[in-house]
Structure 1
Amino acid sequence: MQAVWKLSKYIKPYILFAIIAPVMMVIEVSMDLLQPTILQHIIDDGIAQTDTSYIVKMFGLMIATSVIGLIGGIGCSIYASRTAVNFSTDLRQDLYETITYFSNSSKDKFTLGKLVTNLTSDMEMLQRALTMLLKVFVRGPMMFIGAIVIVFITARELFPILLVVVPILAFCMYYFTALSGKLFHKVQKVVDMVNTKVQENLAGIRVIKAYNRKNHQIEQFTEVNTQLMKRSMAADQIIGVLAPLTMFVVNLGIVAALWMGAIKVDNNTLQVGVILAFINYLMMVMQGLMSSSMVLVQLARAIPSAGRIVEVLEENTDLTSPLKPEIKQIQGSISFENVSFSYLKETESVLKNISFHVNAGETVGIIGMTGSGKSTLVKMIPRLFDPDSGSVKIDGVPIGSYSLEHLRQSIGFSPQKATLFSKTIADNLRYGKSDATSEDIVQALQSANAKEFVDKLDAGTEHLLTQGATNLSGGQKQRLAMARSFIRKPSILILDDVTSAVDSISEKTIQRAIEEQFSDATKVIVSSKISSIRHADQILVMDDGKIAAQGTHEQLLQESILYQEMAKTQAEKGVTLSE
């Protein structure tokens, strides 16, 4: 419940709607409670006395109460929906913004499947619970209490039946509501597993096909899907038992009322209209309890969802901006001082005591075997990770002293995996510079040697990319990702092995454009090919998370055995080391 209380602040902007909805429901329930009493008077005072004018008058009153109740019900639905939808929209917005600021460790902690569940089914659960709370939770208790009070006043002879029926109904509601709440909590956990499995399989669909593991993945999904089926069935069956059980108890009450009523009518101590009114009120008691139990079940399902959402909202990301950030213009010099880092604190470090310095405007190349820490190292510069020890400085200032926005605005980062969005090519490039003109886009495409293939597309830069840009080749995606980093004219340009799928002619064109257009920018180029970095002012040779050697291409060929071996291997494979 503490989580629910923390989320209540999202209702405050719509508190007027949240008040109007229950008030309108009070009007509807009040009218509903009047109807059996009006019917009683029509039968006992009108029909029994053959008073036509009285019957017409009471019939008109019944129509009036029905219309007023209709207005109250419609008003309640409108304002309850407005409150719940606005509440969930604002909460979902904050939740999404929180997730976008997550560090990789936070994303790994919650898993993508769970975060997707938070933004979809958990939010839907809370919205539905709030709607029912504003509509039904007022209706249920008021109808339940109102019906009992009216029976006590108008049909006291039959009131003992309620003293038996109501406790049995209340116990059934409590027991099944508590049990279903526990079961639906288990259901939600399996929903996480299903979402995670779907996300994982769709992301790796090509690998699954390539290794002919489709049947294996189907079996794994079937396993979690079967778990979801079993738990959902168990929870739904519990709720399914509740309705017929309560109806059975109410029917017994109706039989008892008819039996007792017939005896009292025969003795002239009770009128027929009272019996009919009592049966109506008995049904209202059941409806009130059923409505309340439905809300309680929905709340029991929503409370775990609220807890999960609050857990995400309160996650303390380790990547934050300082209260008083450094605001000076970034020139681009980079210093690593004894930097060490591990993804999991209890495991071996991925980077170990890394130290080097790059002057503003220089080019540094980084090369090494797979898993040597190259990509992790460059991700430290835009603060995608913070080091466990040591410090990273830009222009002599620790990068933690800059605001994240200011720091990253000064960096053009093209990661190893070219990630493009399901928007047009122009929109994807504007991720690098939101106010980029058409001329800026054309120049960036030319620099990345991408204009030629873009011009061949029917819509040109307005060509719509599919999700994951599956309608482009790997080399085309890499060139667009580079164009996105080029368009912002950064002080620091980071290219993480972005020419692995690019042909040698295109690569030379791109290298020439970088030299000509980004001469003032500090360039950090990660590559598995020596030809891509041989002209760098300095080259870092990475091995097992350490800098094994450092120097120019010529120096490393003379002094570094590891660099010599890479050069020899690439030469044997036909990779040209020079222009």
Structure 2
Amino acid sequence: MKAIKHLMQYIKPYIWITILAPLLMVIEVFMDLLQPTIMQFIIDEGIAKNDMSIVISYAIIMIVLAIIGLGGGLGCIYFSSKVGVHVATDLRKDLYEVMSYFSTKKRDEVGTGKLITIMTSDVEMIQRALMMLLRIFVRGPLMFIGAVIIVWFTARELFNILLVIVPILMILIITFTIYSGKIFRKVQQSVDRVNEMLSENLAGIRVIKAFHRMKEQMDKFLQINKKLTKLNQNANMVMGFLNPLTMWIVNLGIVAALWIGVIQVEIGAIQIGVILAFVNYLNLIIGGLMMSVMVLMQVARAVPSLDRVYEMFNIEGEERHQKQDLHDIKGDVTFENVSFSYNENGENIVDQLNFHVNAGETVGIIGMTGTGKSTLLKLIPRLYDVSKGKIKIDGKDIQSFTLESLRKQIAFAPQKALLFAGSIASNLKFGSPNAVKEDMHHALDQANAMEFVEKYDDQVEHELSFGAKNLSGGQKQRLAMARAFIKDAKILILDDTTSAVDTISEKIIKNHLINDFKEQTLFIVSSKIATIQHADQIILMDDGRIHGIGTHDELLATNEEYREIYLLQQQSGGVLDAE
């Protein structure tokens, strides 16, 4: 019920055409209901009495009524389509906005596959059901009720036939509708799984090919696809079984009508035209019921979709409104006993972190894979919220700030350099929407990306493909860093952003970080000590905890684990000149 009320909010802006569409359908139905009665007059008054003037007159009336009905039907189709399409468009727009504000944790819980299914298949299902409701669900019941009333007044001798077959048909319709609704809910869940695996495999296709696991992944996909196929077959079997069963009952009604009708004609109780009109009205009654069945089936499919859409609107997203805006910060950052877990009862990814960073300092973070380095950084812009403890900027808890104002003060270059299809300039403007070419060139120079961008004829207007697949890994990382640099934020976070960058470019970038970002607070995650050995503080992470903190020289002198990493990297040539 709440989901339906929520949908009504989207129908409300189009309420007048929503009302107009079924009214036009009423006109079409009324015209259709008159046709069998007119045909009865043609047979009993015209043909039976050999009066062609009556036949012609009523034939002209039938044509006029058909044209009026056609106009009503076309008008209903136009306006119902307009309502359905616009409601679906508004739903997708708001869903996109709502999903954009999902916390990273909640988005991970829901799953990409389900989100895609909801945005596409579920919204389309709602659109289709809404259009059918405005068209056919008005037509079906009106046709049924109107035909029953007319039969009562024009062929009462045959009315008992309806009292037998109509209840039987209605019981069948209700039973099949309830059963099909359960099946279609399972179908949507199976579509989610197909989308999830498809999305995952397309994203990891290079890994699949590199390990030559195409056949194994295909087998997994076939298993999921078979389940979807079976559910769809079951749903179609329900529909397929209902139609012939309904027609069998209808044909029994027609046979009964002819049998009883002939007897009534022989005794002079009714005329032949009444029997033919009754058969036509019986078909209209059954047609009305079947139309209602079609709509109910569609509604049965749409109800799970509507519930899933409503569920998305009720998921608690990231806070859009808090008490304070964050402005003109210095960049002082404090972690106070901070812990984080992806699940309420799960193991902490980072545990009891305590450290302080003065404004303008550079912090290097190093440690083995899976020690919580990237998670630590994601807590600062609240991509994830801490499970325990507090993170403070300039002495104030970041939970008290609006997300928008908090993230305006932070520039973030993630571990995976995600770029969007479009020009290099449009990607850089993610960091600074009002950036001009001079700003872009400066940021590209700092990330040593101008080195390859200037080789393009159109330079910053050069188009990137989907996922920037026309760039190398190192080029993508450098553009991602330039996007962060151009923001000129007080807090700059670089999450292992030079892992795919060549040694010369890394050294150039490092020099720019030392010389150009003295006013910013820098957080740099790296697997190489050489990248962070100039930092004011270096944090050594292990198993989600801090196992050492200090300058490069202090850690070399006091921390055995750090010293071992340094010596190993020095032996393998992984330590750059610190200058």
Tell me which interval the TM-score lies in, with the shorter structure as reference length: over 0.9
Query: What residue in structure 2 maps to residue 10 of structure 1?
Result: 10
Instruction: State the SS of the aligned residue for 1:371.
Output: coil
Counterpart of 1:122 in structure 2 is 122
Structure-2 separation of matches of 1:471 and 1:107: 28
Structure 2 counterpart of 1:542: 541
Q: Does 1:149 align with 2:156?
A: no
User: Match of 1:11, SS?
Assistant: helix
After superposition, the C-alpha distances for 1:94-127 in whole angstroms (9 at most, x for unaligned) are 1111111111221122111111111111111111
Match of 1:227 in 2: 227
What is the correspondence of 1:14-163 to structure 2 with a 5 Å cutoff?
A: 14-163=14-163
Corresponding residue number in structure 1 for 2:258? 258
Query: Which residue is equivalent to 1:300?
Result: 300
The aligned counterpart of 2:526 is 527
Change (3 A) 1:181 1:322: closer
Q: Tell me the residue number matched to 2:499.
A: 500
Q: Is contact 2:322–2:401 with CA below 8 Å preserved after alignment? A: no
* Pairing of 1:153-302 with structure 2 (within 5 A): 153-302=153-302
User: Is the Cα contact below 8 Å between 1:567 and 1:577 reproduced in 2?
Assistant: no
135 and 327 in structure 1: CA distance in 2 versus 1, 3 angstrom threshold: same
Letter in 2 for 1:428: N
CA contact (8 A) 2:325 2:406 kept: no
Q: Which amino acid aligns with 2:17?
A: F
What is aligned with 1:554?
553
Please give the per-residue CA displacement for 1:434-479, whole angstroms capped at 9, x wherever unaligned.
2221222222211111112122235432222222222211101100
Q: State the match for 2:514 in structure 1.
A: 515
**Which residue does 1:457 correspond to in 2?**
456
Could you list the per-position Cα deviations for residues 21-64 of structure 1 after superposition, in whole angstroms to 9, with x for gaps in the alignment? 11111111111101111111111112222333322221221111
Any idea what SS the aligned residue of 2:417 has? coil
Q: Is the CA contact 1:372–1:544 (under 8 Å) kept in the aligned structure 2?
A: yes
Deviation for aligned residue 1:578: 2.8
Cross-structure match for 1:347: 346
Distance in 1 between the 2:46 and 2:322 partners? 78
Q: What residue identity is the alignment partner of 2:249?
A: V
Letter aligned with residue 14 of structure 1: Y
Deviation at 1:519, TM superposition (A): 2.0
Percent identity for Structure 1 against Structure 2: 55
Q: How many Å apart are 1:531 and its aligned residue?
A: 0.8
- Residue aligning to 2:472: 473
Native 8 Å contact 1:321 1:400 kept in 2: no
- 8 Å contact 2:366–2:526 — kept in the other structure? yes
The answer to whether the 8 A contact 1:534-1:577 is kept is no
Three-state SS of the structure 1 residue aligned to 2:431 is coil
In structure 1, runs of 5+ residues without a counterpart are none
Distance 1:125 1:504 in 2: 53
1:577 positional shift: 4.3
Deviation of residue 408 (structure 1)? Answer: 0.6
| Deviations 1:297-350, CA, capped at 9 Å, x for gaps | 111111111111111110113x42453213432221111111111112212211
Take 2:382 and 2:365, find their aligned partners in 1: how far apart are those partners? 18
TM-score (norm 2): 0.97
Between stretches 252-261 and 79-88, larger displacement belongs to 252-261
1:372-451 map, 5 Å? 372-451=371-450
In 1, the alpha carbon distance for the partners of 2:176 and 2:342 equals 45
Cα distance, 1:7 vs structure 2: 2.4
CA pair 283-321 structure 1, distance change in 2 beyond 3 A: closer
For the residues of structure 1 that align with 2:178 and 2:287, how far apart are their CA atoms?
19
* Secondary structure at the counterpart of residue 73 of structure 2: helix
Stretch moving more, 334-343 or 493-502: 334-343
Paired position in structure 1 for 2:364: 365
The C-alpha deviation readout for 1:196-241, integer Å capped at 9, x for no partner, is: 1111111111221122211111111110111111110011011012
Distance in 2 (CA, whole Å) between partners of 1:191 and 1:77 is 30
Q: Which amino acid aligns with 2:394?
A: D
For residues 5 and 406 of structure 1, the distance between their equivalents in structure 2, rounded to whole angstroms, comes to: 34
In the aligned structure 2, how far is the partner of 1:192 from the partner of 1:80? 29
More divergent stretch after superposition (167-176 vs 564-573)? 167-176
Q: Distance in 1 between matches of 2:221 and 2:8?
A: 37
Please state whether the residue corresponding to 2:54 is helix, strand or coil. Answer: helix
Once residues 164 and 388 of structure 2 are traced to their aligned partners in structure 1, the CA distance between those partners, rounded to angstroms, is: 71
Return the offset for 1:564.
Answer: 0.4
Equivalent residue of 1:332, what SS?
Answer: coil
CA distance in 1, matches of 2:273, 2:457: 79
Identify unmatched segments of 5+ residues in structure 2: none
Deviations 1:499-533 (A, max 9, x none): 01111111121122233332211111111111111
Aligned partners of 1:205 and 1:519: how far apart in 2? 42
Query: Matched residue of 2:420: which SS?
Result: coil
TM-superposed CA distance for 1:400, in Å, is: 1.3
The answer on whether the counterparts of 1:322 and 1:400 sit within 8 Å (CA) in structure 2 is no
Distance in structure 2 (CA, Å) of the matches to 1:576 and 1:328: 39
Cα displacement (A) at 1:157: 1.6
Shift, 1:175, TM fit: 2.0
| CA distance in structure 2 between the aligned counterparts of 1:349 and 1:268, rounded to whole angstroms | 90
**1:22/1:138 contact within 8 Å kept:** yes
The more displaced of 225-234 and 266-275 is 266-275
C-alpha root-mean-square deviation of aligned residues, in Å? 1.4
Q: CA separation in 2, counterparts of 1:265 and 1:334?
A: 97
> Aligned partners of 1:339 and 1:172: how far apart in 2?
61
What CA distance in whole angstroms lies between the structure 2 residues aligned with 1:435 and 1:272? 82
Q: Identify the residue that residue 332 of structure 2 maps to in structure 1.
A: 333
Contact (CA 8 Å) 1:333, 1:359: kept in 2 or not? Answer: yes
Instruction: Assess if the C-alpha contact under 8 Å between 1:44 and 1:271 holds in 2.
Output: yes
Shift of 1:259: 2.3
Q: Deviations over 1:378-397 (max 9, x none)?
A: 11111111111111111111
CA distance in 2, matches of 1:165, 1:137: 21
Mean CA deviation greater in 456-465 or 488-497: 456-465
Cα deviations by residue, 1:148-189 (Å, 9 ceiling, x for unpaired): 110110111211221222122222222222222221122112
Counterpart CA distance in 1 for 2:385 and 2:165 is 65
- Give the Cα–Cα distance (whole angstroms) in 1 for the partners of residues 577 and 560 of structure 2: 19
Q: Which moved more, 1:409-418 or 1:176-185?
A: 176-185
**Contact residue 197 and residue 221 of structure 1 kept, 8 A:** yes
- Using the size of structure 1 for normalisation, the TM-score is 0.97
Give 1:68 shift: 1.1
Matched position secondary structure for 2:353:
strand
| Amino acid in the other structure paired with 1:191 | V
Give the Cα–Cα distance (whole angstroms) in 1 for the partners of residues 454 and 238 of structure 2.
62
Structure 2 CA distance for partners of 1:197 and 1:574, relative to 1, 3 Å: same
CA separation in 1, counterparts of 2:432 and 2:49?
85
Structure 2: how far apart are the matches of 1:434 and 1:38?
A: 70
3-state DSSP of counterpart to 1:178: helix
Match for 1:515: what amino acid?
Answer: I
